[in-house]
């Protein structure tokens, strides 16, 4: 039997070089599923992604998804992509196993925790809003750190810096006064030890965008305190859950979040296309 991809519509292109196209997954010309491919708008035409892959239930467990994913790699290579990404729900064991067998590795994951009672902060710890004077140097450092994290994962510096600028502009358009954004400075025994960037859209789940402990104060539990602060702020704003994103190689953060009861919801994987 021959598994192929059959386009369902003309290829779509954007002015900045982006491409996308949908295909039927076919076995001997019989449709058995669908796959949607695109270049990643966050990082440019050199980065491809499998936006959607589904095999009809009666045709599963026969290798159709594996062949479709390999065929997708060939399409994206033809588009000039050097890397491919895919996002998989954390509970989708079969899809995660397939991705692993094909050489995909985890880049980052989303995690979430339902909120109940507001935790107390440790003795000596207190938080205050970030001031306007503190915001500019904080944002400058946060942008640089965020861009560097993507450079370390194969994104060109210009694309990484553009993404950092765009994300901060979208999420903090009014700086420290942006509605729904909580920017906090944590102090312990009177000394500033870290910062928290939290999104609190009214009536929705909270999301942690940044937790940073000053290098001079690391290893003393202040990262945990900042997460407890995030939970307190989220509950006070009416949120019922708190989410976050963490890179797979950030072992200390992964351990911290797991110890606090956060569980993975979405796994983001990538593969270098040779």
Q: What is the pLDDT of residue 155?
A: 87
The model's pTM: 0.92
154 has a pLDDT exceeding 90 = no
Within its chain, how far is the Cα of 147 from the centroid? 14
Residue 25 structural domain: 3-81
* Residue 49 domain-assigned (yes or no): yes
Q: Identify whether 101 is part of a domain.
A: no
Same domain assignment for residues 161 and 73: no
Q: Count other Cβ atoms within 10 Å, centred on residue 116.
A: 10
Q: Taking a C-beta distance cutoff of 8 angstroms, is the pair 161, 171 a contact? A: no
Cα-Cα-Cα-Cα torsion 226, 232, 237, 240, nearest 10 degrees, comes to 100
Query: What are 191-216's pLDDT values in tens digits?
Result: 999 999 999 987 679 999 999 999 99
Are 109 and 92 contacting, i.e. CB atoms less than 8 angstroms apart? no
Q: Check whether 64 has a pLDDT greater than 70.
A: yes
Query: Which helix (H) or strand (E) covers residue 273, if one does?
Result: none
Q: What is the pLDDT of residues 249-273, one digit of tens each?
A: 999 999 999 999 999 999 999 999 9
Residues 74 and 152 grouped into a single domain: no
Residue 109 lies in a domain: no
| Residue 66 lies inside a defined structural domain of this protein | yes
Report yes or no on 174 lying in a domain: yes
Return the CATH number at 54: 3.40.630.30
Average pLDDT of every residue of the chain: 95
What pLDDT does 226 receive? 98
Give one DSSP letter per residue of 182-230, joined into a string. EEEEEEETTEEEEEEEEE--TTS-EEEEEEEE-GGGTTSSHHHHHHHHH
Indicate if 198 and 153 belong to the same structural domain: yes
Whether residues 154 and 231 share a domain: the answer is yes
Same domain, 55 and 154: no
pLDDT more than 70, % of the chain: 99
Is the residue at 59 inside a domain? Answer: yes
Q: At which of 28, 55, 81 does a domain end?
A: 81
Q: Say which residues have a Cβ less than 8 Å from residue 200's Cβ, sequence separation at least 6.
A: 180, 181, 182, 206, 233, 234, 237, 239
**Burial label, 179 (beta-carbon count in 10 A; 0-12, 13-18, 19+):** exposed
For the chain, the domain total comes to 2
- Looking at the structure, tell me whether residues 32 and 131 fall in a common domain: no
For residue 225, tell me if it sits in a domain: yes
* pLDDT at 230 (0 to 100): 98
Let me know whether 129 and 39 are in one domain.
no
Within a domain: 274? no
């Amino acid at each position: 039997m021959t598994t192929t991809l059959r386009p369902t519509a003309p290829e779509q292109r954007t002015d900045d070089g982006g491409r996308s196209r949908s295909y039927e997954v076919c076995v001997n010309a019989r449709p058995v599923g669908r796959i949607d491919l695109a270049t990643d708008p966050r990082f440019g035409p050199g980065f491809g992604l499998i936006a959607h892959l589904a095999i009809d239930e009666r045709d599963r467990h026969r290798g159709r998804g594996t062949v479709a994913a390999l065929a997708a790699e060939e399409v994206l290579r033809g588009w000039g992509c050097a890397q491919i990404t895919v996002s998989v729900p954390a509970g989708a064991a079969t899809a995660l196993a397939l991705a692993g067998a094909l050489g995909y590795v985890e880049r980052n994951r989303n995690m979430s925790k339902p909120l109940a009672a507001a935790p107390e902060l440790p003795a000596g710890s207190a938080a205050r809003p970030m001031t306007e004077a503190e915001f500019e140097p904080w944002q400058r450092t946060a942008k640089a750190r965020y861009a560097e994290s993507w450079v370390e994962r194969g994104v060109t510096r210009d694309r990484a810096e553009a993404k950092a600028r765009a994300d901060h502009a979208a999420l903090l358009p009014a700086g420290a006064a942006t509605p729904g954004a909580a920017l906090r400075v944590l102090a312990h025994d009177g000394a500033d030890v870290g910062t928290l960037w939290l999104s609190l859209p009214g009536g929705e789940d909270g999301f942690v965008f940044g937790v940073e402990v000053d290098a001079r104060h690391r290893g003393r539990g202040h990262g945990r305190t900042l997460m407890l602060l995030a939970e307190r702020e989220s509950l006070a704003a009416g949120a019922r859950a708190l989410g976050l994103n963490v890179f797979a190689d950030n072992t200390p953060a992964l351990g911290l979040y797991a110890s606090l009861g956060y569980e993975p919801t979405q796994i983001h994987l990538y593969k270098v296309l040779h």
